């Protein structure tokens, strides 16, 4: 079954509440209407009422069934202000918190997630990645024992599904970062019905080249296996050895991952970002994400070049993550 058919079956009986802070963007508002009408999630859209209605009128959207909040007139703003001040532990006064929450839709939306009024957030159609990630790190924060968030893409073409990480956040991860990333990426794969086979990628396979870069991946593999001994994880592997069985047989005989990998951990952001875009453009794969890993609640980032379908699908993914968070609670 295709990924999004599986996600729809998972999400539709539960219909988590997901906040979309960029409601004044027609791509976001159109996706919110579809998600509501399809019975997938309960979307909250954020924006001034007049602007939301103007966008809806221009594009023929019926937004009458959507939950709509304007931070400037939100009746429960003082509850959010109090919770924000408490969460930031003296780093913001009530006045500063009120100004921020009424002027920045991402901070407002993130506080809705933090206070339980929503179960996840999707932003980035109108904002840079940092504008989505910063409130999440300050308010949602990392899961206990996790040091850094990372950004993965689910690469989809027909029935093929792969996880690429990190393609969005950490520029120069060290061995510990890569090991943590490998572990989190395996968990992400499981959320979307992918049984993980994790490859830590390099320009070397099993010692075919020696450099500080290859040694970093070797150490990351050791740490990842130590952290998750029951997960199939291997490295360092070149991509062909990780993906092509005949190459794996020559370069990495005996590996339980080589030739069968479906979760690919890149050694740097440079490699990951270039790699996923090449697969997307040359290979005709759909790139869904980036999905942020390791946060206490799901917050995900769109590309500013996204379309309505991208918003729809990333919101489905966020809803699936929210369901898993429920089940773990």
Give the integer Cα–Cα distance in Å for 302 and 149.
Answer: 16
The backbone torsions φ and ψ at residue 264, rounded to the nearest 5 degrees and listed phi first, read -115, 120
- The pLDDT of residue 329 is 60
- Whether 289 and 152 have beta carbons less than 8 Å apart is answered as yes
Residue 290, helix vs strand vs coil: strand
Among candidate residues 146, 192, 168, the one with its CA nearest the CA of residue 290? 168
pLDDT of residue 191: 83
Q: Give the pLDDT score at 290.
A: 84
Q: For residues 112 and 19, is the Cβ–Cβ distance under 8 A?
A: yes
Is 1's pLDDT higher than 70? no
- The residue that leads in pLDDT, 328 or 186, is 186
3-class state of residue 13 by DSSP:
coil
Mean pLDDT score, 42-48: 97
Task: Work out the pLDDT band at 6, boundaries 50, 70, 90.
Answer: confident
Categorize the per-residue pLDDT at 2 as very low, low, confident or very high, splitting at 50, 70 and 90.
confident
Q: pLDDT for 225-256, tens place per residue?
A: 999 999 999 999 999 999 999 999 999 998 99
- The rounded percent of the chain whose pLDDT value lies above 90 is 84
Helix (H, G, I), strand (E, B) or coil at 15: coil
71, 81 in Cβ contact below 8 A? no
pLDDT band at 159 (very low <50, low <70, confident <90, very high): confident
Average pLDDT over residues 249-268: 96
CB 254 within 8 A of CB 230: no
Average pLDDT over residues 134-155: 92
- Residues 132-138 have a mean pLDDT of 93
- Alpha helices of 38-174 — where are they, by DSSP H? 49-59, 77-88, 94-103, 105-114, 129-135
Residues 202-223 pLDDT 10s: 999 999 999 999 999 999 999 9
- Higher pLDDT, residue 159 or 201: 201
Categorize the per-residue pLDDT at 309 as very low, low, confident or very high, splitting at 50, 70 and 90: very high
Q: Are 252 and 153 in contact (CB under 8 A)?
A: no
- When pLDDT is averaged across residues 18-31 and rounded to a whole number, the result is 97
Q: Write the pLDDT tens digit of every residue in 72-96.
A: 999 999 999 999 999 999 899 999 9
User: In which order are the strands placed within the sheet that holds 120-123?
Assistant: 67-69, 42-46, 17-20, 120-123, 299-301, 286-293, 150-157, 160-165, 263-265, 198-201, 233-237
Residue 325 confidence (pLDDT) above 90: no
Q: Which residue is associated with the tokens 């996600």?
A: 7
Q: What is the pTM of this model?
A: 0.86
Q: Residues 91-130: pLDDT tens digits?
A: 999 999 999 999 999 999 999 999 999 999 999 999 988 8
Residue entry with tokens 């952290």:
227
Size of the chain, expressed as the number of residues it contains: 329
**SS3 of residue 176 by DSSP:** helix
| pLDDT higher than threshold 80 for residue 327 | no
Rounded average pLDDT over 289-315: 91
Average pLDDT score, the chain: 94
């Amino acid at each position: 079954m295709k990924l999004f058919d599986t996600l729809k079956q998972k999400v539709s009986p539960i219909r988590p509440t997901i906040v979309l802070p960029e409601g004044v963007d027609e791509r976001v508002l159109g996706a919110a209407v579809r998600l509501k009408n399809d019975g997938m999630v309960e979307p909250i859209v954020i924006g001034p009422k007049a602007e939301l209605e103007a966008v809806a009128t221009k594009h023929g959207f019926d937004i009458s069934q959507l939950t709509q909040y304007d931070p400037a007139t939100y009746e429960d703003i003082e509850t959010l202000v109090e919770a924000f001040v408490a969460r930031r532990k003296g780093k913001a006064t009530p006045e500063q918190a009120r100004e921020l929450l009424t002027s920045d839709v991402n901070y407002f939306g993130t506080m809705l997630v933090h206070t339980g009024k929503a179960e996840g957030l999707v932003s980035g159609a109108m904002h840079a990645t940092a504008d989505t990630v910063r409130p999440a790190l300050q308010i949602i924060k990392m899961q206990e024992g996790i040091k850094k968030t990372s950004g993965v893409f689910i690469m989809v073409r027909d029935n093929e599904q792969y996880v690429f990480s990190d393609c969005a956040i950490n520029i120069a991860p060290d061995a510990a970062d890569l090991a943590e990333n490998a572990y989190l990426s395996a968990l992400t794969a499981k959320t979307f019905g992918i049984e993980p086979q994790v490859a830590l990628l390099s320009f070397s396979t099993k010692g075919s080249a020696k450099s500080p870069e290859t040694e970093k991946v070797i150490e990351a593999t050791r740490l990842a296996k130590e952290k998750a001994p029951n997960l199939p994880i291997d490295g360092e592997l070149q991509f062909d050895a990780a993906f092509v069985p005949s190459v794996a047989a020559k370069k990495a005989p005996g590996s339980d991952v080589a030739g069968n990998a479906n979760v690919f951990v890149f050694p740097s952001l440079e490699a990951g970002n270039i790699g996923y875009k090449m697969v997307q453009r040359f290979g005709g794969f759909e790139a869904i994400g980036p999905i942020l890993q390791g946060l206490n609640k799901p917050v995900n980032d769109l590309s500013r070049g996204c379309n309505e379908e991208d918003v729809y699908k990333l919101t489905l993914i966020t809803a699936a993550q929210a369901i898993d968070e429920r089940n773990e609670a």
